A and B are shown apart, each in its own frame.
Chain A
């Protein structure tokens, strides 16, 4: 059973009058650390219980999510070369979703064969609901666009290759 906020408040009320500066409480299910600082108490907690999947599913394949440490965001290019002779890569500035156009329904920023300057906006990577413009960074011509619109990308994933001028 996890501690409620009221439980923590009660522990704190008890602690406050005692000559202790720290309480570190650990069980197999959680860890709670309370520390006294000049400005007041701090709390650091960890819920350690593993998630429990619902046991039944209508199609039988109870999609059991991965227990244990949280799934890390993954890059999406198992076969992408790390360098291409004569070409310059444009990398995603952040993990997120790759968009080829400024807004839904608009024409793409660039197509293969288009000429670009260093500051030409070639794509958007949407991260946490924020649209981040991706600039070519190199003068030249778009040689290859590596991803489909709305594909997820990891940090530094290669989005496009530019043939420098």
Chain B
């Protein structure tokens, strides 16, 4: 099967806002779309936007969106040339990538070998070392006794990580040496049950730290970077606000981050869109490799805003077998962009999820504003999937302008029918520390516990 012709029909194997996003670019390129839907998403907005839908199972993801055979079967039945896996679900699943190859369908993403190399977080660490990237002091722990020895060399606190985890899953901090043995044993049992891989490793826990990542595009031969993103505003390792480029980084450090990411991409002969995540120690101006995300990410719009590129279009072109259309010198950065993730959760009730039915969905529109969403009045927010409702992005000539644009944009968002975290985002965007930029990963926790926030949101009515 030749990869050198344009796709006529693409199976979009995902749901929610990213399904809408992928369908939009396919429509613009004149590519027919077939959307996989579980029974919970049969009448969703992306289902109405796609040219066709293919039912792949009942609502639980394990029986539908995570069913490799159902997804590949749908592609074959629909005569799709390629599958776009979105993010999450099977987007980094080597078994899906191999099943696609066997069925003569292009998997729009990296090779199965790259997916395995990046999905195994321990293997990814080894690749990073081989490519010359700095990694946090740490290593594989085969048993609790070995863990104690290793931690003795690293120093406490340490972070226990699951090799099969990633995306913020399978992490626990251990501050007390006496608790390490138990923590390793428990982490291993949980990892075995959750990921089918009980291997754990330790890394030095650095705090304060910033989460800075670099976007890559590769065609298997060449790799280019599309700059940095800062994703330090997180709650329980889940990102809530992201921005591009990462603010308040010295040029020299920024250049080293770009170069390190490209070096890893080249070492992996990376094909597709991917992101290299780094931990930046702001006090020492040092950085360390964390993991590779071999998929398009939720926060990709902020990179699109400052580069003018359509990353889904680039993914499709690479999937069609074309060489990268940009050289590094062609990549230009303009301005600053910030994104807020609007989730169906109630910050006033410890972020209790809020599934339900949307009764109203009004969003801002205008210069410098972008909204990616799958909502409209009548849409349901099922309990089976994640809580992301919409991404609101503000773009401006500099960070101050992007922030002002985003504040005004959030003011004009009105989602009714479920509880959202919009007010929390408005508070964050008004906060002086966020306004300065360069916050660390502990910032959101401190903000939520600050006297001002608690008074505003939990004070007596």
User: Contact residues of A with B, CB < 8 Å?
Assistant: 2, 4-5, 8-9, 12, 34-35, 37, 39-58, 63-73, 94-97, 103-106, 127-130, 132, 152
Q: What are 24 A-B contacts defined by CB distance under 8 Å? A: A37-B412, A42-B364, A42-B365, A44-B362, A48-B48, A49-B48, A51-B50, A51-B52, A51-B53, A52-B53, A53-B55, A56-B78, A65-B39, A65-B47, A70-B378, A73-B59, A73-B355, A127-B353, A127-B383, A128-B353, A129-B385, A129-B386, A130-B352, A130-B387
From known contacts A39-B411, A69-B378, A103-B190, infer whether A132 and B48 are also in contact, taking CB-CB under 8 Å. no
Residues of A within 8 A of B352 (CB): 94, 130, 132
Interface string of B222-255 (1 = CB under 8 A from A): 0000000000000000000000000000000000
Q: Number of B residues contacting the other chain (C-beta, 8 Å)?
A: 67
From known contacts A39-B408, A130-B353, infer whether A54 and B40 are also in contact, taking CB-CB under 8 Å. no
In the complex the two chains form, is B365's CB within 8 Å of A8's CB?
yes
Interface residue stretch chosen among B69-77, B128-136, B153-161: B69-77
Nearest-neighbor residue (CB-CB) of A57 within chain B: B77
User: Contact residues of B with A, CB < 8 Å?
Assistant: 24, 27-28, 34, 37, 39-45, 47-56, 59-60, 73-74, 76-78, 189-190, 192-194, 344-345, 351-353, 355, 357, 360-366, 369-371, 376-380, 382-387, 408-409, 411-412, 414
From known contacts A51-B48, A104-B193, A128-B387, infer whether A4 and B364 are also in contact, taking CB-CB under 8 Å. no
- Give the residue of A5, A54, A96, A128 whose beta carbon is less than 8 angstroms from that of B53: A54
Residues of A within 8 A of B41 (CB): 70
6 A-B pairs with the lowest CB-CB distances in the bound complex, closest first: A65-B42, A104-B193, A105-B193, A70-B43, A63-B55, A43-B365
Residues of B within 8 A of A128 (CB): 344-345, 353, 355, 383-387
In the complex the two chains form, is A68's CB within 8 Å of B43's CB?
yes
In the complex the two chains form, is B363's CB within 8 Å of A105's CB?
no
Q: How far is the CB of A46 from chain B (nearest CB, A)?
A: 5
